[in-house]
Amino acid sequence: MVVNRLYHISNLAANCEASRATSAVGSNSERVLIVPNKDSIVANLKSLIPGYGAYHALESRREDDRLTRNFLVKRIDQCKAQLDAVGAQAARSGDLESPLQIEKLRTELDRARSRLAAAVEGYSGWFSSRVVDEKLLTQISELDANLVSVVDLLGKQLEESPLPFVKVKESTDLLHQRIDRRGELLKQG
């Protein structure tokens, strides 16, 4: 089976090279060179490798996971900057109570940021002995999308004036709950 696949791969590569060099259509005055699509050649080669399609899908999900967590970290940094600006404004206006509440919120956001930045990747690699559950991957993807919406909600709440401390605290708590849930899902898998 493996020998047959390798033979097919070498024939495919040889035929593609030959067709690049010799394929021409049309009259002598008008020649068109037919070149196979490079992407289709690569796709054909990948399809011949057992398990590669599933591996590639997992690698894509792993990259999506990493990008989502990086996006969340940046958005939380923006939220922290918004809190800093609100705290500075409150201090300039002589409000001594708000900066203390803002610092507590900022600490919780910083903790959430650190947890996401250091989070375990959500998907196994090629040589992992662990079997990856497709349903679990879908749940993690949905949870990641939910994390993005919670952080977006926080950003909107931080733009309100006066700052709705109770709402922001509830959203921050929800963010931590979602991060906890993500960790639980990863431990299950």
Average pLDDT taken over every residue of the chain: 75
Query: Smallest Cα–Cα separation from 44: which of 79, 71, 80, 15?
Result: 15
Are both 64 and 11 inside the same structural domain? Answer: no
Query: Smallest Cα–Cα separation from 102: which of 82, 85, 87, 81?
Result: 87
Cα 89 to Cα 71, 76, 78, 102, 155: the distances in Å are 27, 20, 17, 11, 17
Are both 132 and 64 inside the same structural domain? Answer: yes
Are both 83 and 148 inside the same structural domain? Answer: yes
Lowest-pLDDT range, 35-39, 76-80, 98-102?
35-39
User: Given pLDDT bands bounded at 50, 70 and 90, which one contains residue 16?
Assistant: very low
- Alpha-carbon gap, residue 99 to 83, rounded angstroms: 9
Q: Count CB atoms within 10 A of the CB of residue 182.
A: 23
Which residue segment(s) compose the domain that 89 sits in? Answer: 52-188
Report the first-to-last Cα separation within the chain, whole angstroms.
33
Cα 125 to Cα 57, 115, 145, 169: the distances in Å are 11, 22, 22, 37
Are both 94 and 33 inside the same structural domain? Answer: no
Are both 91 and 173 inside the same structural domain? Answer: yes
Are both 99 and 123 inside the same structural domain? Answer: yes
Number of domains in the chain: 2
- Element housing 51 (H / E): none
Give residue for tokens 């849930």: 181
Are both 118 and 33 inside the same structural domain? Answer: no
> Residue 100: is its pLDDT beyond 50?
yes
User: pTM of the predicted model, to two decimals?
Assistant: 0.66
Range 120-124 average pLDDT: 57
Lowest-pLDDT range, 34-43, 77-86, 153-162?
34-43
